[in-house]
Chain A
Amino acid sequence: GAGVSQSPSNKVTEKGKDVELRCDPISGHTALYWYRQSLGQGLEFLIYFQGNSAPDKSGLPSDRFSAERTGGSVSTLTIQRTQQEDSAVYLCASSLVGTSGRTDTQYFGPGTRLTVL
């Protein structure tokens, strides 16, 4: 079946502009995550959605960052008034929730490479 998809694959924007990044998780996966990966760095957790529960926003770096997940499926990560330090690859992942209530393997999308000029 289809994996996690993300769009666009690349986004170049000017400083100060808003951007929207989209993630389509694997069908049936109730958990969805957003991560950020700067060049040569590890993965930085941003936000986590699980079913209808309130999202865990503890990783969002500033109030310029927000995310929504409509209908428990597609998610959009919005960055307002982009700054050069926002340049990174933004990765989305989805997973099932195991019977113990813990998440299963995370399946990653190909990412969106954001460049802020």
Chain B
Amino acid sequence: GQQVMQIPQYQHVQEGEDFTTYCNSSTTLSNIQWYKQRPGGHPVFLIQLVKSGEVKKQKRLTFQFGEAKKNSSLHITATQTTDVGTYFCADQTGANNLFFGTGTRLTVIP
């Protein structure tokens, strides 16, 4: 089955620093979805990337899909304490279910 690896597993940053999490697959992905889960909460959809090389922005968040469609990244510029949480990528390839990465837990130090 699909395996989606996500790195790093944990990241601590000072407020105002940038943060990036990477999602990698050994197989070509159909599309990538990104979710954020606040501590104690449930995953909330952020964005979906479909096209090779696609870049989408949401305020301080930049999402990128690799040219070969085997990797994706989420970059946060100038982190804030409200960015705290776990960020998951999810691969939807073949079947209709999503395969979630292991997530990157972000801690922002004020």
Contact = CB atoms under 8 A, between A and B. Distances in A.
A65 interface: no
B95 A43 contact: no
A41 B102 contact: yes
Nearest to A103: B96
Nearest to A105: B45
Interface stretch (A11-19, A20-28, A75-83, A106-114): A106-114
B23 to A, nearest CB: 12
Nearest to A59: B97
B16 to A, nearest CB: 27
Given A41-B102, A42-B101, A42-B103, 18 more contacts: A42-B88, A43-B43, A45-B99, A48-B95, A48-B97, A56-B95, A56-B96, A56-B97, A59-B97, A91-B43, A93-B43, A101-B96, A105-B33, A107-B45, A108-B44, A110-B41, A110-B42, A111-B42
Contact of B100 (A43, A101, A111): A43
A35 B44 CA distance: 14
B97 A42 contact: no
